[in-house]
Amino acid sequence: MVWLILRSGLRLTILGTVLGLVFSFGLVRVIGSFLPDLAVNDPVIISGVTLLLLVIALVACWLPARRATRVDPIVALRAE
């Protein structure tokens, strides 16, 4: 049960992260032309922020999944 919820949430997170990285590398050229002294291609910052977002998404998916496993299925079905 936990794996199903984590897998669907992390699939969307990884897709969004990949699309965000692709678009951010495209926008780096535009931002760099306006601010030439700004270091926009720092791989440490980009990988750090990406890792931080993935960890936050993992926790955001894991907490509801863990809570869902603690609910009695009969009580959940009666609530519907």
- pLDDT classification of 70: cutoffs 50, 70, 90: confident
| pLDDT at position 35 over 90 | no
pTM of the model: 0.73
Average pLDDT, stretch 5-15? Answer: 89
Q: How far apart are the first and last CA of the chain?
A: 19
Q: Give the Cβ contact number of residue 28 at 10 Å.
A: 14
